[in-house]
Structure 1
Amino acid sequence: MQTQHVTQGPLESAVRKARLRLAPFLALMFALSMLDRSNVGFVKQALQVDSNIGNAAFALGAGIFFIGYAVFEIPSNLMLHRVGAKVWLSRIMVTWGLASAAMMFAHNETSFYVLRFILGVAEAGFSPGVILYSTYWFPARERGKALGIYYFGLPVALVLGSPLSGYLMEVMGGRLGLHNWQWMFLIEGLAASIVGIVAFFYLVSKPRHAKWLTLAEKDALENAIEAEDRHKIAHGPATALTALRNWNVLRFVSIYFAIQISVYGVIFYLPTRISELTGTAIGSKVGFLTAIPWLCALISLRFITGYADAKGKHRQLAIAMLAMAAAGIALSTLGHHIAPVLVAFCIATIGFVVVQPLFWTLPTAYLSGTAAASGIAMIGALGNLGGFMAPTLKTAVETLFHSQRAGMFTLAFAGVIGVLLLLSIGLQSRRAPEVAIGPAKATLR
């Protein structure tokens, strides 16, 4: 019996190679980014005791990261577009790792605020930079799967990072005269800087510079991307300025803002919630239980983004995922035992993790060139202010109604608003031409 060999076309081969080589490393970078951004949730109790930081001050400090992040997001993405992803993403990662390690010096409210703000400035432009970078390498029809691999970094950071943070909090206290939370910031921050140095030698800014692609693969991939860009320029904003005042871009900002409120409302408070339900201090047990929802999201991510690419259902599935996130957040308030609350958090986490790569396929199918650099950055910058709003909003509502449940319902309602905005988007007429990638050939249609 003869085995049939299917010949790959140069475009299909180029996309496959790029996805296998670039996306997993970008996911690692994202995982370290999320770990350094969210590990403050693990030190909440210990940091408050050692530094005399109250709940309101902690909420403000946790969220002030996003102010620094937002202010420098657009300049950062424009710089990436100018100097190349290899240089700029590496620079971002090295500096944010050092800034995260410097969090060990937080000793009062003022230093906590300043260091969180500096961390936001250092990391500004990373995730929107990767989203922009994906448009240089992946045609629209394949972008959801590639971004899905990149977003593996979010659940991986908290599947592996939660037990790691819990372990460091449990065993490192008192060594060399440092508190356990100081060791956690130092170790996890320096790990990011080391990977940032590796990134400079590993990443390739554009397909033309990739030694691991053949000439035919480079030509096929560049031609496909250029054809999409010509369509986007003809039907959408063509310059940085027009992108910043475009109605659809502003609508994307509002949707991403709602998503981020859901995400960070849970990330910053999940370890504390699990600690309360188990009646134990934050350590290895809480770390492992906290990892369960992220593991569920990790399993779901690949299948759902792959299905969205195959069926062209990115917007519809994004709506379903964000609705699922809102429902899970609301349900998490209704239980007083660990099992039902964990199930609710699993539902919420699957929803708000998977919705993000699905969401980003929408603006990247609409924007190109400098318009993409500025538009994607503005969506990331202003949308990420939802991360600033989430802890402050949650704390304010809880104080007003004297109920933790009211705070979580508010976060769930933000997700509902995001669902309504997604329902209002109609980009069918503006969609870039799909790239048909078959086993034997690749054509534009």
Structure 2
Amino acid sequence: MNADSYGNRLALGEARDDPAHTALYAKLTRRIVPFLFLAFVVAYIDRVNVSFAKLQMLTDLSLSETVYGAGAGIFFLGYFIFEVPSNLILHRVGARRWIARIMVSWAIVSSLTVFVSGATSFYVLRFLLGVAEAGFFPGVVLYLSNWFPAQRRSQIIALFMTAIPVSGAIGGPLSGWLMAHLAGVHGIAGWRWLFLVEGLGSLVVGVAAFFVLTDNIADVRWLNAEEKSRIAADLARDALTRTETTARGAFANPKVWLLGLLYFCIAMGNYGLAFWVPTIIKASGVASIGNIGLLSAVPSLISVVAMIWIARHADRRNERRVHVALCCAIGAFGLLASVLFAANVTVSVVALVVAAIGINSIAPVFWGIPTALLGGAGAAAGLAVINCTGNLAGFVSPFIVGWLADLSGGKLLPGMLAIAAALLIGAALVMGIPFHRTSPSSQGTFK
């Protein structure tokens, strides 16, 4: 089948269900997504392993919950400042070199956290970790948008973003094991071993990224000429629905900032879950660090299946706003229930499963919206603006929860109420986005 004939069939909505078309994108997925998934797993473990280190580090260094919350969150200030420049550089020099640079940099900084001795050094290294990691996530989303058309993008992003719950499923037990079994080895505290070992893992994956990633379709050897033409036809048709803008144009686009505000609300939930699950489980009466690590993996593992199913459902229905709103509401309900029923381990963990299903399923569907709207250099800048604006919640979320915990004598409920409120505001925002469809097969655009 020639490219013109294929393009005509795709325009009529027929080619998407063609077995050859499905097989082509399955092949593309197998070759691209697994490594990016692995990279995000180690990135997210390095980002949130401080939530486990906290269980020993605060006592060793005499730090308060407020200091922990500020230190956990200051990562996102560095991330915010350097996000847009990093993504623009990636757009210019290519994903292979820049993603490898990002990963090697954050691995080194994460490993250096072993030398934290007080609040100041904790703040400095968390800030530098954010600087090092800036650009990774929006860079990968941009990279995927250059390989997969909008009709398949939510489920591809979902596959990539299952790295978040999987990192929790892996990182929880691993962090608990490292802290429990390496404590005191060579006179080094368990939480210091945690940062050292997990940072070195990121270093290995970062070096591999330089050799594994390919910047564009034309350079790959595992696609033949016809397959490359098919993908190019898909992407060319997809580009017609995007707004090509400059980087400056993205900053001036109110839609970009509206999506950034929405993503801020979503990220409040993400980091409320990521940074406080171990503390919530401990509050339910689980004392063993190893058992806390194992229980923290349960919500993460179960939410993986939900993430993929919900993203596929959103793609099939060609509808994203209601999916995002419902997931926000489910996440808010689960978080509140996990602390309201903290006295019962079983009920609390079940509530965390509900929270993880809702919260972890939001972002893959959400990112299908801006990637279908933005093109050119404006896409690199716009995705970075949305991501870094949203990820300011990574500073606000843990700081607010920690601060409210200190004010209330260690209670988590006030902080979780704030997180739940942010998620519900996000649900209202996404339902208020003006939106229309240009055709039954279109992805839809802002009015």
TM-score scaled by structure 2? 0.91
Q: Does 1:343 align with 2:350?
A: yes
Shift, 1:15, TM fit: 2.3
Aligned to 1:308: 314
**Whole-Å Cα distance in 1 between the matches of residues 35 and 85 of structure 2?**
24
Relative distance call for 1:377 and 1:220 in structure 2 (3 A) is same
- Contact 1:327/1:412 (CA < 8 Å) preserved in 2? yes
Match of 1:116 among 126, 147, 160: 126
Displacement after TM superposition at 1:396 (Å): 3.0
Alignment of 1:223-242 (within 5 A): 223-233=233-243, 238-242=245-249
Task: Find the counterpart in structure 2 of residue 93 from structure 1.
Answer: 103
2:412 counterpart of 1:418? no
1:290 equivalent in alignment to 2:300: no
Report SS of the residue matched to 1:308: helix
State yes or no: 1:76 paired with 2:90: no
Residue 105 of structure 1: which of 115, 130, 145 is its match? Answer: 115
User: Structure 1 residues 295 and 78 mapped into 2: Cα distance closer, same or farther (>3 Å)?
Assistant: same
CA contact (8 A) 2:68 2:402 kept: no
Q: Tell me the TM-score normalised to structure 1 length.
A: 0.92
Residues 1:358 and 2:335 are matched in the alignment: no
Distance 1:247 1:18 in 2: 34
Tell me if structure 1 keeps the 8 A contact 2:245–2:377: yes
Larger CA deviation: 265-274 vs 400-409: 400-409
Q: Counterpart of 2:83 in structure 1: which amino acid? A: E
Q: Which residue identity is paired with 1:254?
A: L
| Residue type at the aligned position of 1:110 | T
Does structure 1 residue 246 correspond to structure 2 residue 230? Answer: no
Tell me which residue corresponds to 2:379: 372
Q: 1:305 to 1:154 in 2, by over 3 A?
A: same
Which residue in the other structure is 1:160 paired with?
170
Aligned pairs for 1:163-242 within 5 A: 163-233=173-243, 238-242=245-249
SS in 1 for 2:356: helix
Between the aligned partners of 1:432 and 1:112, the Cα distance in structure 2 is 52
Change (3 A) 1:433 1:94: farther
Question: Residue 207 of structure 2 aligns to a residue in which SS?
Answer: helix
- Please give the secondary structure, in 1, of the residue aligned with 2:245: coil
Counterpart of 2:62 (choices 48, 52, 67) is 52
User: Deviation of residue 303 (structure 1)?
Assistant: 1.6
Which amino acid is the alignment partner of residue 66 of structure 2?
Answer: A
Structure 1 unmatched ranges of 5 or more: 1-5, 436-445
Find the partner of 1:65 among 75, 79, 102.
Answer: 75
2:327 maps to 1:317? no
CA contact (8 A) 2:241 2:372 kept: no
Identity %: 37
> Residue deviations 1:2-24, cap 9 Å, x none?
xxxx9744x54442222111112
Matched AA of 2:420: A
Partners of 1:31 and 1:156 within 8 A in 2: yes
Counterpart residue number, 2:415: 407
AA paired with 1:310? R
Task: Confirm or deny that 1:390 pairs with 2:397.
Answer: yes
Name the CA distance, whole Å, in 1 between partners of 2:183 and 2:406: 33
The answer to whether the Cα contact below 8 Å between 1:231 and 1:432 also exists between their aligned partners in 2 is no
Query: How many aligned positions are there?
Result: 425
Distance 1:223 1:301 in 2: 29
Relative to structure 1, is the Cα distance of residues 309 and 177 closer, same or farther in structure 2, using a 3 angstrom cutoff? Answer: same
Provide structure 2 residue ranges, at least 5 long, that are not aligned to the other structure.
1-16
Change (3 A) 1:333 1:255: same
CA contact (8 A) 1:324 1:351 kept: yes
CA distance in structure 1 between the aligned counterparts of 2:406 and 2:151, rounded to whole angstroms: 46
SS in 2 for 1:323: helix
Query: 1:153 is matched by which residue type in structure 2?
Result: A
Runs of 4+ in structure 1 deviating by more than 6 angstroms, as ranges, are 430-433
